[in-house]
């Protein structure tokens, strides 16, 4: 079978047109940081396959966990049943999460986990007798996913403008990147608190829309303001969590806790899709005392046992420790190599405009490093286990790409990640 020809004929790739689609490469297998292509060549995955492959591809412990689970129970509905991998995973997440954030709702992707978090905020306010609080306050420059509610909480001027007509309108505070004193967050919250059910942000690191690192003081201000109005604060740790920026949770830098937290991407170490929304005891208590007392969500594949088994093996690897050190090494190499914006295992070179597609492909081929620049960001977010020689090659590729002449404006198609 000519796979690439049939791919072109039948398949829509993410953020791609079916007319003259950008090239795709046929992957045969993967191990560690390396992808093996159909022609036998290798590429080092410098973007952790959209930031989820934390321990390297096809980690033997995770693969074995999935295999063993598949022999016992691949799936069962989660309404009316439970199973060992889900219970173990909830226990692990509760132990790893900030103290008190131990009520776990499983979701099948990050976007769904965000929708679940938003619904928790609404049900919380409803149970408290404030049904007019049914919008959220989010931050400009944020990204929370591609489903309708998650799009509506992402940067209103970003990649989802086309769908503005179908999205509920929420409130937005300025992107946390100017002068802290000028930030309008409290002003927005004061003005609209009667309608605001919850506040959501990506703590410390706004990833897919802005590649923006920001000060922990922003989070402390959000915490204080939310407390004043009894509004739950949601931290979306889907990209930044699980050591990507250094600490286990990015928000640890602020010394405060959210009321609700979303986890995804690296949760299964990039092996199968799974995400989770964690709520505090207080939030869970209020929702469960409301009418209805049930939390109103339940996806078909909720807590899929194979995904839970993968996540258990992934979290076991994180628990064995050493990840803060691994990330510190990546940060050190990125800085030594002169990458201008670095936080933990994230290195970004901002350019006025991306190079032409042909230049991007050439740099990938020359360095044997897989890069996926977007908007005006040339970046690496490699697996946390990437060794120093591979990190140096990744940096060389980043710098080479950044030195290419600007290409034509690629438009919406290349907006995403």
Ligand X SMILES: *Cc1c(COP(=O)(O)O)cnc(C)c1O
The contact set with ligand X (CB under 6 A) reads: 109-111, 114, 143-145, 202, 207-208, 236, 238-239, 264-265
Q: Are 344 and 327 in contact (CB under 8 A)?
A: yes
User: What is the H or E stretch that residue 380 is in?
Assistant: strand 377-380
- Three-class SS string for 2-13? CHHHHHHHHCCC
Q: Are 48 and 394 in contact (CB under 8 A)?
A: no
Query: Which pair of tokens denotes residue 98?
Result: 């900030």
Minimum CB separation of residue 100 from ligand X in Å reads 22
Q: Which is nearer to ligand X, 110 or 383 (CB)?
A: 110
Alpha helix positions (H), 170-304: 185-192, 216-229, 281-288
User: Is residue 265 flagged as an active site residue?
Assistant: yes
Q: Which is nearer to ligand X, 69 or 109 (CB)?
A: 109
CA distance 318 to 267: 10
Whole-Å CA distances, 380 to 43, 53, 244, 348: 14, 13, 11, 7
The closest residue (CB) to ligand X is 110
Across 227-322, the runs of DSSP E, i.e. the strands, are 233-236, 260-263, 275-279
CA distance 379 to 357: 16
Q: Which is nearer to ligand X, 141 or 145 (CB)?
A: 145
User: Is residue 214 flagged as an active site residue?
Assistant: no
Angle at 244 between CA 27 and CA 30, to 5 degrees: 15
Minimum CB separation of residue 238 from ligand X in Å reads 4
CA distance 249 to 261: 10
CA distance 267 to 90: 12
Minimum CB separation of residue 112 from ligand X in Å reads 7
Q: Which is nearer to ligand X, 208 or 284 (CB)?
A: 208
CA distance 235 to 96: 15
Query: Which pair of tokens denotes residue 221?
Result: 């201000």
Q: Which residues lie across from 136 on neighbouring strands?
A: 198
Q: Which is nearer to ligand X, 53 or 114 (CB)?
A: 114
User: What is the H or E stretch that residue 315 is in?
Assistant: helix 305-319
Minimum CB separation of residue 214 from ligand X in Å reads 14
User: Is residue 143 flagged as an active site residue?
Assistant: yes
Minimum CB separation of residue 16 from ligand X in Å reads 16
Q: Which is nearer to ligand X, 144 or 251 (CB)?
A: 144
Active-site residue identified among 45, 146, 236, 414 = 236
User: Is residue 218 flagged as an active site residue?
Assistant: no
Minimum CB separation of residue 42 from ligand X in Å reads 26
Minimum CB separation of residue 327 from ligand X in Å reads 17
Using a 10 angstrom Cβ sphere, with 0-12 exposed, 13-18 middle and 19 or more buried, the burial of residue 139 is: buried
CA distance 149 to 168: 7
| DSSP helix, strand, coil percent of the chain (3-state; round to 5) | 40, 15, 45
Active-site residue identified among 124, 135, 143, 214 = 143
Q: Which is nearer to ligand X, 50 or 404 (CB)?
A: 50
Q: Which is nearer to ligand X, 144 or 367 (CB)?
A: 144
Query: Which pair of tokens denotes residue 256?
Result: 């405060």
Active-site residue identified among 135, 140, 257, 265 = 265
Minimum CB separation of residue 207 from ligand X in Å reads 5
Residues labelled catalytic = 15, 143, 236, 265
């Amino acid at each position: 079978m000519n796979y690439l020809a049939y791919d072109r004929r039948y398949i829509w790739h993410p953020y791609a047109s079916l007319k003259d689609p950008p090239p795709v490469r046929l992957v045969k297998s993967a191990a560690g940081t390396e992808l093996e292509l159909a022609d036998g060549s290798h590429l080092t995955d410098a973007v952790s396959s959209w930031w989820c492959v934390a321990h390297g591809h096809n980690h033997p412990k995770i693969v074995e966990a999935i295999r063993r689970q598949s022999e016992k129970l691949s799936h069962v509905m989660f309404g009316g049943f439970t199973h060992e991998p889900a219970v173990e995973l909830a226990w692990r997440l509760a132990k790893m999460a900030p103290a008190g954030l131990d009520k776990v709702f499983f979701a099948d992707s990050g976007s769904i986990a965000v929708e679940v978090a938003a619904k928790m905020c609404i049900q919380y306010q409803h149970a408290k007798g404030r049904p007019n609080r049914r919008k959220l306050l989010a931050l400009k420059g944020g990204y929370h996913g591609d489903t309708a509610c998650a799009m509506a909480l992402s940067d209103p001027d970003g990649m989802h403008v086309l769908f503005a007509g179908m999205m509920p309108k929420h409130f937005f505070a300025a992107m946390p990147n100017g002068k802290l004193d000028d930030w309008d967050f409290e002003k927005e919250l004061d003005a609209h608190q009667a309608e605001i059910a919850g506040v959501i942000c990506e703590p410390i690191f706004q990833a897919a829309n802005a590649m923006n690192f920001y000060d922990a003081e922003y989070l402390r201000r959000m915490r204080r303001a939310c407390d004043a109005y009894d509004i739950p604060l949601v931290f979306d740790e889907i990209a930044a969590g699980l050591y990507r920026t250094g600490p286990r949770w990015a928000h640890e830098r602020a010394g405060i806790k959210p009321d609700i937290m979303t986890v995804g991407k690296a949760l299964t170490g990039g092996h199968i899709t799974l995400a989770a929304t964690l709520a505090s005891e207080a939030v869970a208590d209020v929702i469960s005392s409301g009418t209805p007392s049930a939390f109103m969500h339940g996806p078909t594949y909720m807590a899929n046992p194979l995904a839970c088994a993968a996540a258990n093996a992934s979290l076991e690897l994180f628990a064995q420790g050493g990840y803060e050190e691994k990330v510190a090494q990546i940060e050190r190499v990125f800085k030594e190599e002169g990458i201008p914006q670095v936080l933990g295992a994230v290195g970004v070179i901002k350019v006025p405009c991306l190079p032409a597609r042909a230049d991007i492909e050439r740099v990938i081929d020359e360095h044997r490093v897989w890069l996926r620049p977007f908007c005006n960001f040339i970046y690496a977010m490699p697996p946390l286990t990437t060794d120093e020689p591979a990190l140096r090659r990744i940096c060389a590729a980043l710098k080479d790409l950044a030195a290419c002449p600007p290409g034509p404006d690629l438009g919406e198609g290349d907006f995403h990640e």
